[in-house]
Amino acid sequence: MSALDAAAAAAPVLAQMPPWERAQFLVAAADALLAAADELVPLAAEETGLTEPRLRGEIKRTAVQLKLFAEVAAAGDYMAVRLDAADPDFVLGPRPDLRRYLVPLGPVLNFAASNFPFAFSVAGGDTASALAAGCPVVVKAHPGHPRLSDRTAQVLNTVLPAGALGVIHGQDEGVAALKDERITAAAFTGSLTAGRALAAIAAARPRPIPFYGELGSLNPVVVTPGALAERSAEIVKGFAASVSGSAGQLCTKPGLLFVPGEFDAAAAFDGVTPHRLLHPGIADGYTHRRDEVLGTPGVTVTVEGSVTAGGVTPTLVETDLATLVKHRDTLLQEAFGPLSVVVRYTPGEPLGAALTELVEGSLTAGVHVAAGEDSHWLRELVTALQALAGRVLFNGWPTGVAVTPAMQHGGPFPATTNPTTTSVGTASIERFLRPVVYQDAPPSLLPEPLRDDNPWNVPQLRSPAGQSPTWGSLAG
């Protein structure tokens, strides 16, 4: 049976399964993944060039994600059950009994990322959130780690229900699956070009489906004059680590740093060991982008870095705001790899307005402030950062995304194709659910979450009768 056939067959089974059973298999999947770590981590290192310590951390994060979504499924809040009692005296005339909850969309297609072979691949966040929602998942494996993808699925399929998780390979196969009627939603992590092309395919289907793409991000960070005076050495060190880690192949790498004065970063990049890029396509793209940046008039090279067959070391350039404006088409594109652009600004100039004008939507936007710092200028800057990003962070670096209920990993286009959702954190489950309301249903025909005896013990929010809007009078 093909992965799509199996997913379609599994969809009604998963949808009707009590949420604690989904929780149990998600926990079992997490445990199976960790139990196979000694086999999977070296395989991932071989295929991706990422280091073993990083991959050990990532497989643990992936297991935590699966268990977090087990908790989300078991708690049942995600169903957002609302029960509105029938109301014969409703202001607009008799109101029926209405019971609403969220149900799984159906089979989900997950285009895996290159740069997180565990956390955003076969067993990753998109898979965990879709399974928790009750949707079978077909993963289109990333070509950068095909063997790991297959082996991860085999490990998980020792404990998952039949058809809940399948893997396919190849671009044509991925496109065919995206066009397949049985697929009801798709998630994607990758490049702007590929993401836009796939989003267009999803929208042009005879029956369009939701497409959740995470495409690219500059992640601007601003250092205020106060912060630079207070702790420039610490800021330089953190910046260098955030640009260099995993060879900059992170969607939240700070690609743009605004500083109001001297910023001696070169030394902090000394001694960074060469790191292989994930695969030849990424190496080509990075080389091309780096050449463009280095060839831009008005750009000074702070750290030249290197790109060789053995790996890359970071490249850092510096410029001013006028040059950034003039060469925005070159300098304000994401470079997926260890390259960042430092921009000098003049203290007091309206940087918030400049960011709004220049920088496209981003996953994150950050600012380093001095202790107790506050000013009209700073508040305008923070407002501008919020307008362009899904995560606004202070005195830190955007790489390293905490997996917690409040996390937001998304942002205005092109960070994501849909700024109303997130791909990290518990709210990511909402992408794979749709609301259904039952009106005046006989009790015996209600789904479990909507019944008054609440056999699945899910939170139920009740609106009793007699609660017409109370603001002023409705006479008229």
Smaller CB separation from a second copy, 61 or 253? 61
Three-class SS of residue 76? coil
Taking CB under 8 A as the criterion, the residue among 332, 333, 392, 456 binding a second copy is: 392
Cβ atoms of 161 and 131 within 8 Å: the answer is: no
Determine the interface stretch with a second copy among 236-244, 247-255, 275-283, 383-391 (rule: CB under 8 A): 383-391
Identified catalytic residue from 47, 58, 135, 214: 214
Q: How far is CA 303 from the centre of its chain?
A: 30
Taking CB under 8 A as the criterion, the residue among 67, 237, 279, 326 binding a second copy is: 67
Residue of 427, 428, 369 lying closest to 394 (CA atoms): 369
- Bond from prior residue into 449 cis (ω within 30 degrees of 0): no
- Count CB atoms within 10 A of the CB of residue 197: 12
Q: Is 194 exposed, middle or buried (0-12, 13-18, 19+ CB in 10 A)?
A: middle
Q: By CB under 8 A, is residue 368 in contact with a second copy?
A: no
Q: By CB under 8 A, is residue 237 in contact with a second copy?
A: no
Residues 122-151 that bind a second copy (CB under 8 A): none
Q: By CB under 8 A, is residue 285 in contact with a second copy?
A: no
Cβ atoms of 434 and 136 within 8 Å: the answer is: no
Q: By CB under 8 A, is residue 159 in contact with a second copy?
A: no
Q: By CB under 8 A, is residue 433 in contact with a second copy?
A: yes
In whole angstroms, give the CA distance from residue 450 to residue 440: 12
Q: By CB under 8 A, is residue 463 in contact with a second copy?
A: yes
- Count CB atoms within 10 A of the CB of residue 110: 28
Determine the interface stretch with a second copy among 141-149, 276-284, 343-351, 368-376 (rule: CB under 8 A): 368-376
Taking CB under 8 A as the criterion, the residue among 96, 161, 274, 285 binding a second copy is: 96
Determine the interface stretch with a second copy among 42-50, 56-64, 219-227, 301-309 (rule: CB under 8 A): 56-64
In whole angstroms, give the CA distance from residue 45 to residue 32: 19
Taking CB under 8 A as the criterion, the residue among 90, 169, 180, 350 binding a second copy is: 90
Q: By CB under 8 A, is residue 197 in contact with a second copy?
A: no
Q: By CB under 8 A, is residue 329 in contact with a second copy?
A: no
Residues 6 or more apart in contact with residue 172 via CB below 8 angstroms? none
Smaller CB separation from a second copy, 305 or 425? 425
- Count CB atoms within 10 A of the CB of residue 442: 7
Helices 37-48 + 52-75 axis angle, to 10 = 120
Count of chain residues binding a second copy (CB under 8 A)? 102
Taking CB under 8 A as the criterion, the residue among 83, 132, 324, 343 binding a second copy is: 83
Q: Is 200 exposed, middle or buried (0-12, 13-18, 19+ CB in 10 A)?
A: exposed
Taking CB under 8 A as the criterion, the residue among 82, 182, 276, 327 binding a second copy is: 82
135 an active-site residue? no
Q: Give me the least distance between CB of 261 and a second copy, in Å please.
A: 22
Kindly list the catalytic residues.
Answer: 214, 251
